[in-house]
């Protein structure tokens, strides 16, 4: 399998999940400005959506959308405990977090990375502050979003904390402590190092 990624983008989440699960993937970098891959291919020909992550499966098909990819990878290696089994309400708590991060946090960052007006950017920052406050309250007394176990949702939230740092958005104490814990995980460091984000 091959993961198409861009350093530090939301594709870092499945990269972390693959490292955590011990799944050996091939990786190909995508320039999101030119939509060319490192090998010179037209990324739109690979993924018509034009964005990462995209996972080329061994059967030749393509799986896109980060929340779907991380679930697929986690289910390949259930022994890694990155997502609870089907039918367990704990699984749907993880999916609930994936949905929240995807719709309420990830998309709210979009204006900050583009040519938006200062008014639009200020609105996005205000919304993000409220959403990080919500996450901060949820993390009170817990190592990770759903308790003591690191899951695919934590990998996604970690990327959001990285974006907050890049955009100079202060995060509350529980979120900052969460980021510190996740940063210390060997698999997270390996994924970040592979993408050239840390030495």
Output the domain CATH number for residue 64: 3.40.30.10
135 and 107 co-located in one domain: yes
Whether 77 shows a pLDDT value over 90: the answer reads: yes
What is the C-alpha separation between 14 and 125, in angstroms, rounded? 26
Number of domains in the chain: 2
Q: What is the mean pLDDT of residues 77-104?
A: 97
pLDDT at 150: 98
Output the domain CATH number for residue 154: 1.20.1050.10
Averaged confidence pLDDT in the chain: 97
Closest to 24 in 3D by CA, of 7, 3, 51, 45: 3
99 and 62 co-located in one domain: no
DSSP letter, residue 197: S
Q: What is the mean pLDDT of residues 186-199?
A: 96
Whether 199 shows a pLDDT value over 90: the answer reads: no
Instruction: Output the DSSP codes for 56-78.
Output: E-TTS-EEESHHHHHHHHHHH-G
Q: What is the mean pLDDT of residues 83-110?
A: 97
- Which strands make up the sheet holding 26-31, listed edge to edge? 36-37, 26-31, 2-5, 54-56, 62-64
CA 128 to chain centroid? 16
* Neighbouring-strand partners of residue 3: 27, 55
| 9: enclosing H helix or E strand | none
* CB-CB neighbours of 171 under 10 Å: 20
- Per the CB < 8 A criterion, the answer to whether 74 and 83 are in contact is yes
What is the C-alpha separation between 145 and 89, in angstroms, rounded? 15
pLDDT in tens, 25-71: 999 999 999 999 999 999 999 999 999 999 999 999 999 999 999 99
72 and 96 co-located in one domain: no
pLDDT at 64: 97
Q: Considering the domain boundaries, does residue 199 fall inside one?
A: no
CA 57 to chain centroid? 19
148 and 72 co-located in one domain: no
Q: Considering the domain boundaries, does residue 60 fall inside one?
A: yes
Q: How many CA atoms lie within 13 A of 80 on its CB side?
A: 22
- Per the CB < 8 A criterion, the answer to whether 41 and 35 are in contact is no
pLDDT above 90 covers a percentage of the chain that reads 98
pLDDT in tens, 133-161: 999 999 999 999 999 999 999 999 999 99
- Per the CB < 8 A criterion, the answer to whether 20 and 10 are in contact is no
121 and 65 co-located in one domain: no
Global pTM reads 0.96
Q: Considering the domain boundaries, does residue 105 fall inside one?
A: yes
Q: What domain range includes position 101? A: 89-185
């Amino acid at each position: 399998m091959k993961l198409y990624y861009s350093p530090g983008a939301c594709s870092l989440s499945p990269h972390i999940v693959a490292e955590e699960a011990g799944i050996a993937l091939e990786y190909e970098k995508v320039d999101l400005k030119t939509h060319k891959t490192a090998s010179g291919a037209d990324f739109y020909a690979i993924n018509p959506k034009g964005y990462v992550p995209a996972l080329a499966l061994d059967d030749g098909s393509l799986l896109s959308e980060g929340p779907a990819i991380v679930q697929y990878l986690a289910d390949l290696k259930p022994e890694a405990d990155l997502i609870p089994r089907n039918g367990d309400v704990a699984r749907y708590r993880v999916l609930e977090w994936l949905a929240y991060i995807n719709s309420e946090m990830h998309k709210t960052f979009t204006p900050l990375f583009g040519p938006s007006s200062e008014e639009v950017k200020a609105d996005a920052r205000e919304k993000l502050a409220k959403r990080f406050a919500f996450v901060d309250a949820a993390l009170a007394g817990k190592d990770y979003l759903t308790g003591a176990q690191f899951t695919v949702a934590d990998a996604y939230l970690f990327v959001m904390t990285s974006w907050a740092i890049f955009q100079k958005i202060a995060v509350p104490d529980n979120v900052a402590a969460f980021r510190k814990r996740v940063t210390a995980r060997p698999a997270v460091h390996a994924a970040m190092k592979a993408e050239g984000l840390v030495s």
